[in-house]
Chains A and B, each alone.
Chain A
Amino acid sequence: MAVLEKGSPRRQSRSIIEWLNDERVRSVLYQAIVAIAVIAVARYLFVNTSENLQARGMSSGFDFLSGTAGFSIAWTVLPYEAGDSYFRVYLVGIVNTLIVSLVAIVFATLLGFIMGIMRLSKNWLISKIAAWYVEILRNTPLLLQILFWFLAVFSLLPPPRGSFGLLDMFFLNNRGFYMPAPVPGAGFDYTMIAILLAIAATYAVAVWAKKRQMATGQQFHTFWVGLGILFGLPILVFLATGSPLSFDFAALKGFNFQGGVSVPPAFCALLLALMIYHSAFMAEAVRAGILSVSHGQTEAAYSLGLRPGMTLRLVIIPQAMRAVVPPMISNWMNVVKNSSLAIAIGYPDLVAVYMQTSLNQSGHAIEIVAMVMLFYMSVSLTISMALNYYNKLVQLKER
C-alpha cells in the first residue's frame, strides 16, 4: 500500500484494476448494475402503461374501491350483497380463496403423510397402492383433475330430492354438500374458556414433566395425560353447564335444502382436486424425508437400548422433519396459488370475483392485478419467512 500511495499514473491505473478485481467490489458492482436495470425496465413499463391508459381514457388510482360493485357472488363466506363495494369484493374473494386452500392444505397434509408412510410399507400390496396413487395423481394436470371432479362427479349427482344422506345430518346432491351448523347457546363461553385452559394446562404439564425427568430421571406419560386434559376438561365443563350447544340441521323444504351449512359443488370439486393432487407431492416429500435418515441411525439407537417407539421419536422423526418440512411448506404455497384454477369451474375465488367481473366493470386493470398479486405474494412471503426461520432453527451444524 505504501508504495501505491506515491502514485505514478501507471501505478494508479493498475490500482483501479486491482480494485475492480476485488471480490467484494465485484459483488457490490454486479448488484448495482442489476438494480439499475430492474428500475429502468420498471419505469419504462409504468410510463408506457399509464400513457396507454390515458390514451384510452381509463382512469387510475384506488378511488374505485369504495364504489358499488353491483354484481352478485354465487357463494361467499363473508356476508356480501350486490350493493357492497369493490373493496368488499376483494375481501370476499380473499376469504373464499383462503377457506378452500386451508381446508385443502390440512387434508392434503394428512393424506400425504399416510400415503408417504404407506409407500414405505414392507407390505407389497400397500406400498404398490400408494405408489400408483402418487404416480397417477402427480403426473396428470391439476386442471384436468379439477374438471374431472366437477364435471364427472359433482355435476352428475342427483337433485336434492334424491340426495345421498348420512345419518340424516349430511347430504350430498347436485346443489352441494350440506352439514349441520353448530348453534352455541347461553353459557357455551365457559366451554371455550375450558378449551383454552386445557391447552395451557397441557403445556404446563409437559414443561413440568420435562423438568422432573431432567432432575430425577423419571419419565411421565405426557401424551396420554395431555390428551386426557385436552378432551376431559372441556367435556366436563360442557356437561356441567348443561350442554349449551345445539345444531341447525339441513332439511329438504320443497325443491331444496334449508338450514345448516352448505358448500357448492364447485367448492367440493376444487377442494378434492387440490387436496388429492397435492397430497401426492406431499407423500413424496414424506417418503424422501424418512428415507434420508440412514438405517445406521436406527441401528445405533437400537444398540443403545432404545425401543423402536423412542427411536422414532428421538432419532428418526427429528431428522426426517428437516427434510420433510421445506418441500411440505412449498407445497402449501402451491395449494394457495393453484386454487386460482377455481375460475375454470366457477368457484368464486379471489381471481374469479376480482380479476374477472370487477376488472371488466371498473377498468382498473393495473390496480386490481397489483392487489391480487399483493395478496398471493404476502401469503407466499409469510410462509417462506416461517420456513426460513424453521430452517435456521433446525439446520444441522457441519464443518
Chain B
Amino acid sequence: MSLETLDSGQEHIASAISDEVVIELSKVNKWYGEFHVLKDIDLTVYKGERIVICGPSGSGKSTLIRCINRLEEHQQGDILVNGVTMDTNLKNIDAIRRDVGMVFQSFNLFPHLTVLENCTLAPIWVRNTPKAEADRLAMQLLERVKIPEQAAKYPGQLSGGQQQRVAIARSLAMNPNIMLFDEPTSALDPEMISEVLDVMVGLAESGMTMLVVTHEMGFAKRVADRVIFMDQGEIVEQNTPGEFFNNPKSDRTKLFLSQILAH
C-alpha cells in the first residue's frame, strides 16, 4: 500500500503494446443471486498491455478477472479471449485456460507435490510434454523466479514470498500469453513483497500481457500502461498511471486515492 515498496524514482518501463486485441469484454454483467456484482463492463486489452486494477474491497475486481478464465461465469455480455468466445463450450474454456495463467492471493500451490512437480503437472498432463522436457523448462522458470535451489522441496517448506514465486513459475510453465494476478502480494509479509514484485516487473519487461489486481501503487506507477479504478461493480475511471494518480477525474477515485495513500 505504499509508493515506497518499489522505488518510485525508477522509470516507467518501456511499454510493449501492439494493436492486436487479446481480451475483449463488452457489456458484461454478473449477479450473485440478487447482488449485481459486475455492471456493463467494457474492456479491451491489447497484446503486451499491462493493466493494474484497483478499487475498494468488494468492488468486483476479483470477480472481473476471474471471469476472464471462467473461474466465475458471467450472465450477460460477451467475453473474447485470444479470439475465442467464452461460452459453455468446454473446448473453448479449455483453450482459454491453457493460454491464460493466474496467480492467486493465497498461492494455492499443490502441497502434495514438490516445487518442481507443481511446475510440471500441467505441462505433462495438459500439454503432453515429455517429463524430461517439462523438468528442464520448469528449472529454467525456477531460475527466472530465483529459487532453483528449492526445486525438490515441498511448498509447505517455503516462505510466503518463495511460494508465490513458485506459483508464478507454475503458471508460466504452461507458456501463457496472458497473466492474471489477484492481489499477489496481499498475503505476504512486507519484506517479501518486493521479491515477488521484482519477478512481476521482470515479466512485464519480457512483454507479457498482464492484468494485475493490486494496491501496490508503486508497482502501478512503474509498470502499468493503464490503471483501472473499480467501484461497486463498475469501471469508474481508467487512465495512464501519470494521469490517474496526479489528475484523478472522479470524486470516488480521489477519495480512494486519498485513503490508500494515507497509509
* A interface residue numbers (CB < 8 A to B): 213-219, 294, 296-297, 299-307, 310, 314-315, 318-319, 322, 394, 396-399
Q: Give the residue of B108, B124, B127 whose beta carbon is less than 8 angstroms from that of A300.
A: B108
Closest B residue, CB atoms, query A397: B154
Q: Knowing A296-B104, A303-B71 touch, does A397 contact B128 (C-beta < 8 A)? A: no
Closest A residue, CB atoms, query B72: A299
Q: Knowing A305-B98, A306-B122 touch, does A299 contact B130 (C-beta < 8 A)? A: no
- Asked whether B71 lies within 8 Å of A302 as measured between CB atoms, the reply is yes
In the complex, per-residue mask of B88-100: 1 if CB is within 8 Å of any chain A CB, else 0: 0000001001101
The residues in B between 226 and 245 inclusive whose CB is less than 8 angstroms from any CB of A are none
- Asked whether A398 lies within 8 Å of B110 as measured between CB atoms, the reply is no
B32 at the interface (CB under 8 A from A): no
Most buried by A among B104, B110, B129: B110
Closest B residue, CB atoms, query A322: B112
- Asked whether A305 lies within 8 Å of B131 as measured between CB atoms, the reply is no
Q: Knowing A215-B131, A305-B98, A397-B153 touch, does A300 contact B110 (C-beta < 8 A)? A: yes
Closest A residue, CB atoms, query B71: A299
The residues in B between 77 and 133 inclusive whose CB is less than 8 angstroms from any CB of A are 94, 97-98, 100-102, 104, 106, 108-112, 121-122, 124-133
- Asked whether A304 lies within 8 Å of B104 as measured between CB atoms, the reply is no
Q: Give the residue of A213, A307, A314, A396 whose beta carbon is less than 8 angstroms from that of B121.
A: A314
B171 at the interface (CB under 8 A from A): yes
- Asked whether B156 lies within 8 Å of A218 as measured between CB atoms, the reply is no
Interface contact tally, CB-CB below 8 A: 94
List residues of chain A with CB within 8 A of the CB of B170.
Answer: 304
Closest B residue, CB atoms, query A310: B125
The residues in B between 113 and 170 inclusive whose CB is less than 8 angstroms from any CB of A are 121-122, 124-133, 153-154, 156-158, 167, 170
A303–B121 alpha-carbon span in the complex (Å): 12
> Could you name 14 residue pairs across A and B whose Cβ atoms are closer than 8 Å?
A216-B130, A219-B125, A299-B108, A300-B108, A300-B109, A303-B100, A304-B97, A305-B97, A305-B122, A305-B126, A305-B174, A306-B122, A307-B94, A318-B112
Q: Knowing A296-B108, A396-B111 touch, does A303 contact B156 (C-beta < 8 A)? A: no
B214 at the interface (CB under 8 A from A): no
- Asked whether A319 lies within 8 Å of B112 as measured between CB atoms, the reply is yes
List residues of chain B with CB within 8 A of the CB of A296.
Answer: 104, 106, 108
